[in-house]
């Protein structure tokens, strides 16, 4: 996975998961920690260059009248700097691997007490060149390259301000420290500046130097440009006097008092980021060509199904209650898993072979974790395969009572829904069509990719 860092997968094979096995033979649990190794996000020589350039740019904008020093200055209060794309369905998509380092030893020395984050923990590090880590590293999880390739996680402005610099055009698939990052720098009304680093090449907003952005406005896509070993956002903040700020308030924050967040998230926030189904054991790797999620949401009777659960900040002893429900709503299988340790990022999966008489339709995987119930749907015996150019798409379920799903490796699809007479009813770029509001009957669904390849499927609403 990530962050000015490198990731390694540590696999733990457990003898068995506690729980009930109903109707099927389920494998023992496999999984464990997805380990993140740190490296420098930005070499200090590059950081100093950025600081000098930003000061020159601010002066130029003041001269041009695009920064008005006489205007009322509001104290900055940050929103979260990442957001899911509209078509992204994971429950969550990130974890935090590193905070600002508050080691009391003077910056420039790599010796002394252990690393110290704002919470008095050690979720931070000293860089290889001996400097304290100066930002917050928010990594993508799970399948970070899948997210990057599909533009699923966007960088957004944490507060309104003026773009005072913009770097773009650099490679964004790094697995080690090299080259320059793609980044945007935004100055706020109170004079503070936020740095957004490691973004995807050519994904940055079309707005330019001197343009204003609103809080929550799109800035780019998370990736791994510059000194980075995997996709993540490096978020770094300075006050009006160019002093480093840690936006998180805590007993060991020696840089500033009070939080800079509208709502400060907890130091540890146990979250089940995603439940996914796979056709085989997924492959983690860096860069994108070495990652293979092996995602699959449609199966046939006697197929092997891997159900996987991906966590951020999972803590030792935390319990997850799992269930698989049939299309009729019956509990096909249920079991319990207890986390053997605490992890920044972790995953666990089980596999089973569906019975020959598996009920056709939409199955549901459910998990109760940390006071939240997360679900994921997969389908048995209801997929239809069609050729679309050089690739295949799957349209399911058909017939349907409400939603038709489209599974494809194509990153961009256009869906056109027609009634039986040929009247166009709907156009969408989503991967599903909701027919719940339409009368029962026959419809035509045309799927088109960006190369103009088309296929048409007859859909029956029941």
- Superfamily of chain region 39-245: Glucose Permease (Domain IIA) (2.70.70.10)
Region 60-81: what's the mean pLDDT? 84
Using one digit for the tens of pLDDT, what is the confidence trace for 1-17?
445 655 555 444 443 34
In this prediction, residue 244 carries a pLDDT of 95
DSSP string, 49-77: HHHHHHHHHHHHHHHHTSS-TTSPPPPP-
| 5-36+276-380 classified as CATH 2.60.40.1930 | yes
Region 402-420: what's the mean pLDDT? 84
How would residue 24 be classed by pLDDT, with cut points 50, 70 and 90? low
In DSSP terms, 441 is beta-bridged to 461
Residue 176 corresponds to which tokens in the numbers above? 């080690």
Q: What percentage of the chain carries pLDDT values higher than 70? A: 89
In this prediction, residue 108 carries a pLDDT of 44
In this prediction, residue 8 carries a pLDDT of 53
How would residue 335 be classed by pLDDT, with cut points 50, 70 and 90? very high
Q: Where are the beta strands (DSSP E) in 381-423?
A: 384-388, 391-396, 403-408, 413-419
Higher pLDDT, 223 or 382: 223
Using one digit for the tens of pLDDT, what is the confidence trace for 210-261?
999 999 999 999 999 999 999 999 999 999 999 999 999 999 999 999 999 9
Q: What percentage of the chain carries pLDDT values higher than 90? A: 61
* Long-range contacts formed by 377-382: CB under 8 A, 24+ apart: 377/297, 378/277, 378/296, 378/297, 378/298, 378/299, 378/305, 379/297, 379/298, 379/299, 379/405, 380/298, 380/299, 380/300, 380/301, 380/327, 380/354, 381/299, 381/300, 381/301, 382/298
DSSP element (H, E) containing 227: strand 227-228
- Asked whether the predicted pLDDT for residue 18 surpasses 50, the reply is no
Region 105-130: what's the mean pLDDT? 70
In this prediction, residue 13 carries a pLDDT of 40
In this prediction, residue 267 carries a pLDDT of 97
In this prediction, residue 128 carries a pLDDT of 65
In this prediction, residue 421 carries a pLDDT of 65
In this prediction, residue 298 carries a pLDDT of 81
Region 52-77: what's the mean pLDDT? 85
How would residue 81 be classed by pLDDT, with cut points 50, 70 and 90? very high
In this prediction, residue 60 carries a pLDDT of 95
- Asked whether the predicted pLDDT for residue 120 surpasses 70, the reply is yes
| 385-461 classified as CATH 2.60.40.3080 | yes
Mean pLDDT of all residues in the chain?
88
Backbone angles phi, psi at 388, to 5 degrees: -135, 95
In this prediction, residue 129 carries a pLDDT of 63
Residue 347 corresponds to which tokens in the numbers above? 């995953």
Same fold, 5-36+276-380 and 385-461: yes
How would residue 388 be classed by pLDDT, with cut points 50, 70 and 90? confident
In this prediction, residue 15 carries a pLDDT of 35
How would residue 184 be classed by pLDDT, with cut points 50, 70 and 90? very high
Lowest pLDDT segment from 165-174, 197-206, 419-428, 445-454: 419-428
Question: Closest by alpha carbon to 172, among 288, 93, 85, 83?
Answer: 288
> So where are the chain's domains?
5-36+276-380, 39-245, 385-461
Using one digit for the tens of pLDDT, what is the confidence trace for 287-331?
999 999 999 888 889 999 999 999 999 999 999 999 999 999 999
Using one digit for the tens of pLDDT, what is the confidence trace for 94-115?
999 999 999 866 444 444 456 7
Lowest pLDDT segment from 124-128, 141-145, 192-196, 258-262: 124-128
């Amino acid at each position: 996975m990530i962050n000015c860092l490198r990731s390694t997968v540590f696999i733990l094979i457990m003898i068995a998961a506690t729980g009930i096995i109903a109707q099927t033979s389920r494998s023992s649990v496999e999984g464990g920690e997805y380990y993140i190794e740190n490296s420098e996000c930005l070499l200090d020589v590059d950081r100093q260059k950025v600081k000098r350039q930003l000061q020159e740019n601010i002066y130029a904008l003041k001269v041009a009248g695009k920064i008005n020093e006489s205007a009322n200055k509001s104290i900055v209060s940050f929103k979260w700097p990442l957001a899911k794309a509209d078509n992204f369905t994971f429950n969550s998509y990130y974890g935090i691997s590193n905070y600002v380092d508050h080691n009391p030893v003077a910056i420039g020395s790599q010796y002394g007490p252990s690393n110290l984050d704002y919470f008095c923990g050690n979720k931070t590090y000293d860089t290889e060149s001996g400097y304290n880590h100066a930002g917050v590293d928010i990594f993508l999880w799970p399948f970070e390259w899948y997210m990057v390739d599909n533009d699923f996680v966007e960088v957004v402005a944490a507060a309104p301000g003026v773009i005072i610099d913009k770097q773009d055009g650099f490679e964004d698939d790094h697995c080690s420290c090299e080259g320059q990052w793609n980044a945007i720098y935004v100055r706020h009304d109170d004079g503070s500046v936020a740095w957004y680093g490691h973004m995807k090449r050519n994904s940055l907003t079309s707005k330019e130097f001197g343009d204003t952005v609103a809080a929550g406005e799109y800035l780019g896509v998370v990736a791994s440009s510059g000194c980075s070993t995997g996709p993540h956002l490096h978020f770094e903040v300075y006050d009006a006097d160019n002093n480093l700020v840690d936006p998180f308030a805590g007993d060991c924050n020696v840089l500033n008092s009070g939080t800079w967040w509208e709502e400060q998230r907890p130091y540890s926030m146990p979250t089940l980021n995603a439940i996914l189904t796979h056709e085989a054991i997924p492959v983690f790797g860096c860069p994108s060509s070495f990652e293979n999620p092996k995602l699959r949401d449609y199966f046939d009777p006697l197929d092997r199904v891997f159900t996987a659960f991906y966590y951020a900040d999972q803590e030792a002893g935390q319990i997850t209650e799992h269930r698989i429900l049939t299309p009729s709503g019956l509990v096909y299988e249920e079991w319990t898993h207890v986390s053997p340790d605490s992890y920044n990022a972790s995953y666990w999966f089980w596999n089973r072979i569906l019975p020959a008489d598996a009920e056709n339709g939409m199955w549901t995987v459910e998990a109760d974790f940390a006071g939240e119930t997360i679900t994921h749907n997969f389908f048995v015996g209801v997929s239809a395969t069609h050729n679309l150019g050089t690739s295949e798409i799957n349209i399911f379920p058909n017939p349907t009572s409400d939603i038709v799903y489209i599974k494809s490796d194509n990153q961009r699809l256009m869906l056109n829904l027609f009634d039986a007479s040929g009247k166009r009813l709907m156009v969408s770029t989503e991967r599903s069509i909701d027919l719940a509001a339409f009368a029962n009957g026959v419809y035509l669904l045309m799927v088109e990719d960006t190369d103009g390849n088309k296929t048409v499927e007859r859909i029956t609403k029941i």
